[in-house]
Amino acid sequence: MNFFEQTGKVAIGSRLRMLTDKVTEDGAQIYKLYNIDMQPKWFPVFYSLAQGEEKTITELARDIGHSHPSVSKIISEMLKKGYVKESKDKTDGRRNLVSLSKKGVEISKEIEDQLIDVNAAVEEISAQSQNKLWEAIGEWEFLLEQKSLLRRVMEKKKERDSLKVQIVDYKPEYQEAFRALNVEWISHYFTMEESDYKALDNPQGYILDRGGYILLALYEGEPLGVCALIKMDDGEYNFELAKMAVSPKAQGKNVGFLLAGAVVEKAKSLGAAKIYLESNTILKPAINLYHKLGFQKVAGKPTPYTRCNIQMELVL
């Protein structure tokens, strides 16, 4: 098993599967040892029924943590052996009440010695181990219940990505990147308009000199995201979030979220009251992002862009 020590914990799934196989392997042999005509996979169902009460297929499935078709199949196999009997529920014709037959009850008595011995064997292994497998499984079940492995990995990914992403202020040397990243997506989804060129060709005069700001997200030093805060001339101290662009290369690297978050923080620290933005509903990831940051849909503002079909606002 040296292999798994090399791969690292990613392989925990594979490794678990192999141990499962090894533990399960001997199952059939063990029943044979006790002269019990039973398949290992029947055991959970069998045990659940041995508690005495009649149970439906679905109840059994929930009990033992299998899907109901699995239980359905197991029951039909046990039926063939005569270990269980079925009866229709009188008040509910869909339900199939299953219980141990006389023969099944006999088997359940014969099986007791086996349970004792297997238990003892497992305990023996436990006693020779520093780390208790049984308890470790319980802890994992609990922790995965709280938060799935996928969710945990997503968090780790975000953490790591965040370290690589650096938010910086605009400098003239970034003008080309600011232009290119915006042209890329605008011309992909729509067509460039008059006001686009104005802002992208001359961010200094059109945005910064008018009291606006531009932030960039550098991923490992390379500018992969840009976003402008344009001062609005509505009499109050509000900004429009505009010209936000993230390179497809940065997809899934959390760049958009970090950048937009930084922009909101910037506006807040400047003492702005509101951030306004215009977008289009076909840009679903963007809309989702704005929503996540707290932007709410508003309507009715005049806009120079034909591509705008949704307007949003965040009160700071």
Partner DNA sequence: TATATTTGCGTAACTGATTACGTAATTAAT
Partner DNA sequence: ATTAATTACGTAATCAGTTACGCAAATATA
The residues binding DNA (CB under 7 A) are 14, 17, 21, 39-41, 56-59, 65-70, 72-76, 91-97
Q: Which is nearer to DNA, 90 or 171 (CB)?
A: 90
To which residue do tokens 């232009």 refer? 179
Could you tell me the smallest distance in angstroms from the CB atom of residue 54 to its own copies? 18
Please, which residue, 152 or 210, has the CB nearer to its own copies? Answer: 152
Distance CA 118, CA 168 (A): 63
CB 271 within 8 A of CB 182: no
What CA–CA distances, in Å, run from 63 to 69, 134, 137? 14, 19, 18
Burial 183-220, CB ≥16 within 10 A → b, else e: eebbeeebeeeeebeebbeebeebbbeeebbbbbbbbe
91 binds, among DNA, its own copies, none (CB under 5 to 8 A by kind): DNA
Q: Which does 175 bind (CB under 5 to 8 A by kind): its own copies, DNA, none?
A: none
| DSSP letter, residue 280 | -
Nearer to its own copies, 34 or 185 (CB): 34
Give the dihedral sign, CA 213/217/221/223. Answer: negative
Residue 20, contacted partner among DNA, its own copies, none, CB below 5-8 A by kind: its own copies
The DSSP-derived string for 155-181 is HHHHHHHHHHEEEEE--GGGHHHHHHH
Considering the complex, state which of residue 81 and residue 95 has its C-beta at the smaller distance from DNA: 95
Residue 72, binding choice from its own copies, DNA, none, Cβ under 5 to 8 Å by partner class: DNA
CA angle 7, 131, 17 (to 5 degrees): 45
Whole-number minimum distance, CB 84 to DNA, in Å? 12
For the chain, the 3-state helix, strand and coil shares in percent, each to the nearest 5, are: 55, 20, 25
303's contact among its own copies, DNA, none, with CB below 5 to 8 A by partner kind, is none
Q: How many CB atoms lie within 10 A of CB 170?
A: 22
Choose between 113 and 234: whose C-beta lies nearer to its own copies.
Answer: 113
Least distance (Å) between residue 8 CB and DNA:
17
Nearer to its own copies, 27 or 261 (CB): 27
Minimum gap (Å) between residue 72 Cβ and DNA: 3
Nearest distance in Å: CB 43, its own copies = 7
Q: Which residues contact 245 (CB under 8 A, 6 or more apart)?
A: 181, 182, 184, 185, 225, 226, 227
The β-bridge partners of 219 are 165, 222
Q: Which is nearer to DNA, 44 or 261 (CB)?
A: 44
Length of the chain: 316
Least Å from the CB of residue 143 to DNA? 20
Q: Name the minimum Å distance from CB 197 to DNA.
A: 48
Residue 162 interaction partner, one of its own copies, DNA, none, beta carbon < 5-8 Å per kind = none
CB of 125 to DNA, least distance (A): 21
Q: Which listed option, its own copies, DNA, none, makes contact with residue 59 (CB within 5 to 8 Å by class)?
A: DNA
Residue closer to DNA, measured from CB, 38 or 186: 38
- Contact criterion met (CB below 8 Å) for 165 and 253: yes
70 binds, among its own copies, DNA, none (CB under 5 to 8 A by kind): DNA
Q: How far is CA 181 from the centre of its chain?
A: 29
